[in-house]
Structure 1
């Protein structure tokens, strides 16, 4: 499969009564906390890549309710793939953010992560390393709390 020039970031969440919990993942070797993250492949759309990455990294079915977020950042290609994979003029690639609503806490970790934790927004925002993750989880938390009566899922 060919690597597409974009990244995806996904935060699984549980919304039960007045409690909202987010799953965050500890990166195996590096030890920092983040959402599920990965790159697009071949002709995948960002949503398709988010669904595939969620399955590969946490065992989350594509049948779950995925939410597209407005949060968007760009990332240096050298930090993502180590070099100028898409040509000398492609310096940064976009990272699209998603939430995915789950009904249970159990996740199946891939080798990329050493553990995961279900935490509230305040704890997640303190634990996450990357600003893009903090921004995306802020937006997701606001959408859930502000728009809980609206249907804004993609599937």
Structure 2
């Protein structure tokens, strides 16, 4: 049974101090977003994120995930179409994650028509949902800070 929450996963790759993000074009509505889906039974949000990333893009569960602070509330009817969990649950929390992948090769499920690897500035302009834009902004800032801190540390120790 589906759990009353949603997850969002944003794959990224870092090469030569540049960061690219994968975004996905939905096959049913044609808009761009991150990988998204609901929890199942007794899964934790991170377990759901890893399962969804594997099911929708073939991303194995052992890649490093970053749990983001970005969290959204989504109307239950927009996510599942009805009051699946009864009349008392009006909104679902959406938990956001980044996942570092070693290659740009993605195995698309039927949920998506296409995917693109883009820099932050390009990706954020294509995303439909504000929750996706906010989570991508947070992930990008966190990764840039890590890169800058590593470069600073390397310079100080040479």
> Would the TM-score normalized by the shorter structure come out above 0.5?
yes
The unaligned stretches of length 5 or more in structure 1 are: 151-155
* Shift of residue 29, structure 1, vs aligned partner: 2.2
Measured against aligned partners, the alpha-carbon deviations of 1:52-86 in whole angstroms (never above 9, x if no partner) come to 00000000000000110000001111111111111
TM-score for both structures, normalised by structure 1: 0.94
Superposition pairs of residues 38-77 of structure 1, within 5 angstroms: 38-77=37-76
User: Are 2:28 and 1:29 equivalent residues in the alignment?
Assistant: yes
- The CA distance in 1 between the partners of 2:123 and 2:70, in whole Å, is 17
- The CA distance in 2 between the partners of 1:65 and 1:123, in whole Å, is 24
* Shift of residue 116, structure 1, vs aligned partner: 0.2
- The CA distance in 1 between the partners of 2:28 and 2:18, in whole Å, is 31
* Shift of residue 128, structure 1, vs aligned partner: 0.4
* Shift of residue 147, structure 1, vs aligned partner: 2.3
Structure with the higher helix share, 1 or 2: 2
User: Are 2:113 and 1:117 equivalent residues in the alignment?
Assistant: no
Point out the structure with max Rg over C-alpha: 2
TM-score for both structures, normalised by structure 2: 0.92
Superposition pairs of residues 1-155 of structure 1, within 5 angstroms: 2-148=1-147, 149=149
Q: Which consecutive segments of 4 or more residues in structure 1 shift more than 2 A?
A: 147-150
**C-alpha RMSD of the superposition:** 1.0
